[in-house]
């Protein structure tokens, strides 16, 4: 690694889909020595403001920033132009030009080798909507990876993950395969803790007579422990009904401009609204109810919602109408998120 920490290490996996390439790029960016500067530059490009607060940066996953970037720009050249433009306006210009190059290096496999035709606005809208729906899934695996990396048996762990769902002897070369891909594959093959345990027992069965059997048992337990976070039930989803949503819509519309509410909800889901043709098309196709339902899916708790709305307050050009809508939303949605808890007291 060079002294400035900007060297690039990269394993070249076989990527079946564009989503695989995106997930690989996110994993590499998160693991890079300069991941904090990478996040600062991406945050600035995506949200239009520079952010140094660690708490704010940590509240926005790297996968979300990459999704927003790729939702806005359909070619690598467009990404390059945006990143360079932002980097050139910073005090540490040379450092952030280098950071931009790191980001572009890892994003290169997301785009086809030949210059792609610019997709239609309809296709861009579909792609952006799909990326929003996949954010939560992309964020699932980092706690597992962090836990596995604490082990001194990482090489054996990767071999076990590669064996999951396959017969011994048919395993691909796991040494050159990134850990994220192996964890995702294992999770797809073992979507429940019982299935994971059964598959691991199947692997151990073939090693029962080997001298390393005790060591293999330890590795299997480490995998089970690391995967717990994937099987833990998350926050209970907000229960929405047509009647309750109608009441919420009426409360919002009576106290502020509903179009401002839609802009803020759009910004939470898709990134800061800048009135581009693509953004206008997406927003016009979404009713207030559509955006509310998507928001409750994306933000399962009021804390999630408040955090994202607070970040937006620093990123959007404010106006009296937007400020009013923001305050009304904080109060009205707090009541909505907590309504079931109040009823159960």
Domain coordinates in residue numbering, the chain: 18-133, 142-231, 242-344
What pLDDT, on the 0 to 100 scale, is given for residue 251?
Answer: 92
Question: In angstroms, rounded to a whole number, what is the distance separating the alpha carbons of residues 12 and 51?
Answer: 32
Question: In angstroms, rounded to a whole number, what is the distance separating the alpha carbons of residues 183 and 168?
Answer: 18
Torsion 183-41-73-295 (CA) sign? positive
Residues whose CB falls within 8 Å of the CB of residue 263, separated by 6 or more in sequence, listed in order = 273, 283, 322, 325
Considering only CA atoms, which of 290, 298, 306 is closest in space to residue 338?
306
Query: pLDDT digit of tens for each residue in the chain (345 aa)?
Result: 433 445 444 444 444 477 778 888 888 898 888 889 999 999 888 887 888 888 778 878 888 888 888 878 888 888 999 899 999 988 888 889 889 988 998 888 888 653 344 455 555 555 554 554 444 445 667 888 888 888 888 888 888 887 775 644 444 455 556 777 788 778 877 777 878 888 888 888 877 788 878 888 888 889 988 888 877 655 555 667 778 889 999 999 999 999 999 999 988 887 778 777 777 887 888 899 989 988 887 787 888 888 888 777 666 666 788 889 999 999 999 888 887 554 332
Question: In angstroms, rounded to a whole number, what is the distance separating the alpha carbons of residues 298 and 336?
Answer: 15
What pLDDT, on the 0 to 100 scale, is given for residue 344?
Answer: 31
> What is this structure's pTM?
0.42
């Amino acid at each position: 690694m060079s002294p400035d920490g900007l060297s690039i290490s990269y394993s070249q996996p076989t990527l079946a889909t564009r989503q695989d390439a995106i997930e690989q790029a996110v994993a590499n960016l998160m693991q890079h020595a300069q991941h904090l500067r990478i996040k600062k530059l991406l945050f600035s490009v995506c949200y239009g403001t520079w952010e140094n607060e660690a708490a704010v940066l940590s509240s926005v996953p790297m996968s979300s920033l990459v999704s927003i970037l790729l939702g806005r720009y359909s070619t690598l050249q467009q990404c390059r132009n945006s990143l360079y433009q932002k980097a050139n306006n910073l005090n540490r210009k040379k450092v952030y030009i280098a950071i931009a190059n790191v980001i572009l290096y890892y994003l290169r496999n997301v785009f086809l080798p030949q210059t792609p035709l610019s997709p239609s606005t309809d296709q861009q809208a579909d792609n952006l909507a799909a990326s929003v729906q996949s954010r939560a899934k992309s964020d699932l695996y980092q706690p597992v990876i962090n836990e596995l990396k604490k082990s001194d048996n990482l090489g054996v762990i990767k071999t076990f993950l590669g064996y999951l769902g396959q017969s011994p002897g048919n395993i691909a070369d796991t040494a050159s395969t990134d850990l994220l891909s192996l964890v995702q594959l294992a999770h797809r093959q073992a979507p429940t803790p019982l299935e994971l345990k059964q598959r691991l027992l199947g692997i151990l069965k073939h090693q029962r007579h080997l001298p390393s059997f005790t060591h293999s048992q330890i590795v299997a337990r480490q995998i089970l422990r690391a995967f717990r976070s994937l099987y833990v039930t998350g926050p209970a989803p907000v229960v929405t009904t047509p009647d309750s949503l109608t009441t919420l819509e009426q409360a919002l519309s009576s106290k502020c401009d509903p179009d401002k509410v839609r802009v803020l909800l759009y910004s939470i889901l898709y990134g800061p609204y800048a009135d581009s043709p693509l953004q206008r098309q997406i927003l016009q196709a979404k009713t207030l109810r559509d955006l509310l339902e998507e928001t409750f899916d994306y933000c399962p708790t009021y804390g999630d919602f408040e955090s994202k709305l607070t970040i937006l307050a620093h990123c959007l050009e404010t106006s009296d109408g937007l400020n009013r809508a923001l305050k009304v939303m904080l109060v009205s949605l707090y009541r909505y998120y907590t309504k079931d808890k109040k009823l159960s007291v």
